[in-house]
A = this chain, B = another copy of it.
Amino acid sequence: MIKLSKKVEYAILALQYIAENSSKTNTAKEIAENLTLPYEFLSKLLQTLMKKGLLVSQLGVKGGYKLAKQISEITVEELMNALDERSNIVDCADGDSNCCSRTEICDIRSPIMNLQEQINNIFKNTTIANLKNNL
């Protein structure tokens, strides 16, 4: 179905929100409320982005999140990787093999990989900042 997962969608919105409010640390709760996103889910997601180095977190009261890098320097590809969402269109894309029957003698693997690269390029060339209307 070639769909961006909610994780990715929420993360884009959250990153843009944090970018707009970069003067302070933003709590997961505040972001969730302002964007009307499920708090627990968003919370998990932000923690992941932190661990992957896209966000910096501060624990405790007055804690929250800030950007670790500008959203103009975060590509969609990077975001997907951080969220463990591979942009693979077939399972064998990262070497796992048997994405389709007859793996060994697969007739379509190489051309499928070509498709894959075209798609990767799109995500590689789009940053979170690019995904805003009001530039």
Q: Does A100 make an interface contact (CB < 8 A)?
A: yes
Closest chain B CB from A35 CB (angstroms):
5
Interface string of A82-101 (1 = CB under 8 A from B): 00011111110000000111
A108 touches B90 (CB 8 A): no
A133 touches B115 (CB 8 A): no
What are 12 of the A-B contact pairs (CB < 8 Å)? A2-B2, A2-B3, A2-B119, A3-B90, A3-B91, A9-B90, A12-B108, A13-B100, A108-B133, A109-B133, A115-B126, A119-B119
* Chain A residues with a Cβ under 8 A of chain B: 1-5, 9-10, 12-13, 16, 35-37, 76, 85-91, 99-102, 107-112, 115, 118-119, 122, 126, 130-134
